[in-house]
A and B are shown apart, each in its own frame.
Chain A
Amino acid sequence: MSTAAASTLRGASLPKWSPYAIVGGSIVLGVLIGLVGGLDSKVQWGLIAGLLYVLGTYVIAARVEGRRQAKDRVATSLVWVAFVIAVVPLVSLIWVTVSRGVKVLDPYFLSHSMGVVANADTGGGAYAAIIGSLEQVGLATLIGAPIGILTAVYLVEYGRGRLAKAVTFFVDVMTGIPSIVAGLFILSIMLIFKMQPFGFAGSLALAILMMPVVVRSTEEMLKLVPNELREASLALGVPKWRTILKVVLPTSIGGITTGVMLAIARIAGETAPVLLLVFGNPFINNNPFEGAQSSLPLFIYQQYADSAGANAAYDRAWAASLTLIAFVMILNLVARGIARWKAPKTGR
């Protein structure tokens, strides 16, 4: 069928393997150019290869398939390049943290503190920091989670009128407060009362950061509870507060738990407010209400910043990072697991 009309449907097209061939070719060329040009940064090799890939795709496709198809292919290749660019730092970060963190991460590290171990020396551990983190985050959760959940209940179950609108708006605004500002707020109060740093001050700042996150996620979950359930309960003569406690909250408890856990994961990694309010302490201080404490993120920062480049301190920083990431990731995964397990089945 070689009529003129038929040819309009039949676009010349590149074979299926051509994108892979172009990728391979550009990587080889990129490496060659890098070697010949004497460029020492592998990142530059990668950039050159990426550029060659995009350009090569356009030129080859424009020749064979036409300009529109070439644009389409370039867009596709750019999207893939963007994806690779995003994955590179993540892989590097996880790889470095794990590979360098496991060096000193052992039971000793988790059960001992820095005490009088000098920064440049090996030994010591993050026990005091872990205790501090657990206490501060735990107290922050005790404050932040109930207030957040109750606020969400108010917004969904009772909220009408201007107060609810104001709360909704300021919850949004609060989500965007930089963590250091929350720290400065508590600090300004402490300055007025001439207080010294202590763990609970950090908890207060963390609770401020936690509340809006909990409100948002709980709100979403409560809105998913079908209205019929509420009406069924109210129609039986059950008062509203018992309906909320016995019907609405139990129905959405999975989602609420997920939200709270994700919020905990977020504040567990916050450093800035802790730096201002808890100050850091190489010794074990189990009392969050008196005296400086440490915390995991603060421990990482201080091992890095105060060590003047001592390798032993860097190793401890990586080990603490690995501990922190493991904690946060486990919380995330468990939270997602709960979300999936408890997810209302939307008959789709």
Chain B
Amino acid sequence: MSKRIDVSGLTAYYGSHKAIEDISMNIEPRTVTAFIGPSGCGKSTFLRTLNRMHEVTPGGRVEGKVLLDDENLYGANIDPVAVRREVGMVFQRPNPFPTMSIFDNVAAGLRLNGNFKKSELGDIVEKSLKGANLWNEVKDRLNKPGSGLSGGQQQRLCIARAIAVEPNVLLMDEPCSALDPISTLAIEDLIGELKERFTIVIVTHNMQQAARVSDRTAFFNLAAVGQPGKLIEIDDTERIFSNPSVQATEDYISGRFG
């Protein structure tokens, strides 16, 4: 299951501060889209509007539309809790539940959503851990706490937890920024596999990473500190990195600012 996302005229606020302004873009199913841009340009904020996590922050609110296969996430009667089950998320720092075992971490989302038989649950947990390339490393210690794993393993555990509930979209907020190069490579390989099943949106600070993993790249920028962030352009990754249509993008990619 993989859905397309169409954003139109999206503006997000923190209290009275406008964080991002008037963003529109289309994201195709079964693709990896990378968001790049300097710090504070609102790319993470924008990512969090795609599963209604932005409004969790006190004072956070959103105007505009996010269509998930033609249904507006911000429409009337939409349950944000249901939205977050359809649109999974992986965070910057790995955040397994510290008091739960590896198994329980992966099963956490499933247990929320109804009754599974124990064997069923075991199957899904195994499948998810395999999907996150973690199964072989943890299959002998599923009952140990998740916080005992290395940083890269914890992040893959979080990915397993996110994909266990079979979301349509997977959002990743700088998933490798707290990891060492080898773990980063493992996650990047994993992203390549996961895009067969999910629509993936990834925020990254690392332009090489964007170039390696993504099909499409969106560049965000802000006019000045305190100004809202804006989408400068979105295009095929190859084009963005070889021949962008906006000068600012080229300046950023070639390291002239940011």
CB distance from A18 to the nearest CB of B (A): 14
* Residue of B with least CB distance to A12: B77
- CB contacts (< 8 Å) of B112 on chain A: these are 68
CB distance from B53 to the nearest CB of A (A): 15
- CB contacts (< 8 Å) of B196 on chain A: these are none
* Residue of B with least CB distance to A67: B114
Q: A1-37 vs B: 1/0 string, CB under 8 Å?
A: 1000110111111000000000000000000000000
Instruction: Decide: B77 and A10 in contact? CB cutoff 8 A.
Output: yes
Q: Please classify how large the interface on chain B is, using the bins under 10, 10 to 19, 20 to 34, 35 or more.
A: 10 to 19
Instruction: Decide: B82 and A11 in contact? CB cutoff 8 A.
Output: yes
Q: Please classify how large the interface on chain A is, using the bins under 10, 10 to 19, 20 to 34, 35 or more.
A: 10 to 19
- CB contacts (< 8 Å) of B83 on chain A: these are 9
- CB contacts (< 8 Å) of B3 on chain A: these are 5
Identify which of A1, A5, A10 contacts B79 (C-beta below 8 A).
A10
- CB contacts (< 8 Å) of B69 on chain A: these are 5-6
CB distance from B243 to the nearest CB of A (A): 38
How many residue pairs at the A-B interface have CB separations less than 8 Å? Answer: 34
CB distance from A13 to the nearest CB of B (A): 6
- CB contacts (< 8 Å) of B79 on chain A: these are 9-11, 13
Instruction: Decide: B86 and A9 in contact? CB cutoff 8 A.
Output: yes
- CB contacts (< 8 Å) of A6 on chain B: these are 69-71
* Residue of B with least CB distance to A65: B79
Q: How far is the CA of A69 from the CA of B81 in the complex (A)?
A: 10
B73 part of interface (Cβ distance < 8 Å): yes
Instruction: Decide: A13 and B77 in contact? CB cutoff 8 A.
Output: yes
Q: How far is the CA of A6 from the CA of B85 in the complex (A)?
A: 13
B185 part of interface (Cβ distance < 8 Å): no
Could you list 20 examples of A-B contacts with CB < 8 Å? Answer: A1-B70, A5-B3, A5-B69, A6-B69, A6-B70, A8-B86, A9-B68, A9-B71, A9-B73, A9-B79, A9-B82, A9-B83, A10-B71, A10-B77, A10-B79, A11-B81, A11-B82, A12-B77, A13-B77, A68-B112
Known: A9-B86, A10-B79, A69-B81. 10 other contacts (CB 8 A): A6-B71, A8-B85, A9-B71, A9-B73, A9-B79, A9-B82, A11-B79, A13-B77, A68-B81, A68-B112
